[in-house]
Amino acid sequence: QVQLMESGGNSVQAGGSLRLSCANSESTLSGNFMGWFRQAPGTEREGVAGIRTGSGSTRYADSVKGRFTISQDKAKNMVYLQMNSLKPEDTAMYYCAAGWVSPFGDSWSNSGSYTYWGQGTQVTVSS
């Protein structure tokens, strides 16, 4: 059974950095893509970054390009989200997801494309 577990969420001031981690219990079974999503109260879940696990190619939402970096460590079955220059609008619950996702277009950012989800880790950025 695939299980994803996020860690690394915290409260930071604007301009600060955080690194989120996602441990995947069954990376070979969980699909070809892993993504990071976020959801603030009263908003829809938003795709932040994705990585095609085979090739390592990455995708980013426009709102985080140049500030966030998604990476993976295949040997450890880990995916990371390095978040720099954090802004108050980055405040949200962050979720790790895995699944079989089309590498074309914006499928990576569609939450319905993913099968497996973690429980989330809270990121709060204060001004």
One DSSP character per residue, the chain reads ---EEEE---EEETT--EEEEEEETTTTTS-SEEEEEEE-TTS--EEEEEEETTT--EEE-TTTTTTEEEEEEGGGTEEEEEE-S--GGG-EEEEEEEE---SSTTGGG-GGG--EE---EEEEEE-
Tens-digit pLDDT profile for residues 15-58:
999 999 999 998 778 899 999 999 999 999 999 999 999 999 99
- Note the pLDDT of residue 26: 86
Tens-digit pLDDT profile for residues 65-118:
999 999 999 999 999 999 999 999 999 999 999 999 998 889 999 999 999 999
- Note the pLDDT of residue 27: 79
